[in-house]
Amino acid sequence: MRGGRVVSRRSVLVGGGLGAAALFLGGAPAAASVLAPRSGAANGAAAAVGDPLWQQAIAKGIVYGSSTATWQVDPDPAYSQLFQREAGILFTEDDLLWYRLRPTPTSGLDFSFGDRIIGYAEANGQHVFGAHLVWDEGFGEGWTDDDLWGMTEQRAREVLFGTVQAEVARYRGRVKAWSVANEVTDPMTGDPNGLRDDVPWYATIGPEYVAETFQLAHAEDPGAVLVLNEFGFETGSSAAGRRAAVLQVIDFLLGQGVPVHALGVQAHLAWRNFARQFNTNAYRSFLAEVAARGLTIMITEMDVLDGGLKADITVRDAGVADVYRRYLDVALDEPAVKVLMTFGLSDRYTWLQEDFPRRDGAPRRPLPFDADLQPKPAYDALSQAFANAPTRTPPW
């Protein structure tokens, strides 16, 4: 609320991994109500800093949100309140991964976590980005390599497509966009069309598993936006190859009439690499090429690794914010970029702290709000990027 005006997210928005890690180093749920966004967090823990980020973004036709999970918002009311206030779309970080959904090869499907996180988003008036229908990770300890690689084609089809069909059918009309295929392309692949050939589903079913998953998802929910979600386009020696490979895969799938509606760009960025390796002209050209194919572009998992920066918070926060600012100056200049999600909203819950701890022991600070739920320079960079972005037609 600002200036006495309360706006429902849904009324405005409707309007009527992690393979990227390596790049840093080089029952039917009940119907939900729709609530207005909050003006601050519980117990005054988070600062109210003007209009929520989602509202700043939608003014330019951009949907802003973040990933989260039940294990974050359920026990942490202050963080939950901040998430409710700032995000217009919720990326299901953990609750639809297979370690939750199908814990073992022989277990039945467990939708309890998915029901809770999707119900949470609906109660907040937030859209849902469901992740991921097919991925070669996220299985948990209940699965072994023998389980994954040892299935017959028939059994693999039953397991994969049976899970996808049941999942999309259960949440039909409630998930705005699905990450259908996550991290399935590779410039070094032996597949002639750019698909990764080193994953279990390719080995057991064949390359057609990607197209068939898209087709199955579309059949179960024709209204959902179907996304090919990928990483590694920004920096590193393989960036140009990865950009070329994903365009090749897009052309291959569209050429078969496969319903690919959007490209998800993970945008896990690293301060150490960004300044000297980010080619703005090449990146603009890449985004334009995706747009020319008729796809929406979604930045799905943005964060900034602060490696190479001194432990001093002022120095690190300035460096991280600079990467946000420079990246978004390029990315949001492309009108086809219609969704932006950070991978987490607060440093309190960032995968980088567990997977890539700093050698000096200082906590990672990759996100718009710090661990105390206070806005940081990265927040200001996001806010300014939305203010500077050209206006576009919202995605829905």
Q: What is the mean pLDDT of the chain?
A: 90
CA atoms of 24 and 182, how far apart (whole Å) = 18
- Give the pLDDT band (50/70/90) at residue 47: low
Residue 92 φ/ψ, nearest 5 degrees: -75, 95
Q: What is the pLDDT of residues 317-344, one digit of tens each?
A: 999 999 999 999 999 999 999 999 999 9
Per-residue pLDDT for 29 more than 50? no
Q: Do residues 322 and 369 make contact, with C-beta atoms less than 8 angstroms apart?
A: no
- Give the pLDDT band (50/70/90) at residue 275: confident
Report pLDDT for 50.
83
- Give the pLDDT band (50/70/90) at residue 58: very high
Contacts of 133 (CB under 8 A, 6+ apart): 164, 167, 168, 178, 179, 180, 181, 213, 217
- Average pLDDT estimate for 55-73: 98
Q: Do residues 352 and 301 make contact, with C-beta atoms less than 8 angstroms apart?
A: no
- Average pLDDT estimate for 178-194: 96
Report pLDDT for 48.
53
Q: What is the pLDDT of residues 356-365, one digit of tens each?
A: 999 999 999 9
CA atoms of 236 and 278, how far apart (whole Å) = 8
Q: What is the pLDDT of residues 156-177, one digit of tens each?
A: 999 999 999 999 999 999 999 9
Domains present along the chain, CATH in parentheses: 9-388 (3.20.20.80)
pTM above 0.85, yes or no: yes
Residues of the chain with pLDDT > 70, as a percent, come to 88
Per-residue pLDDT for 3 more than 80? no
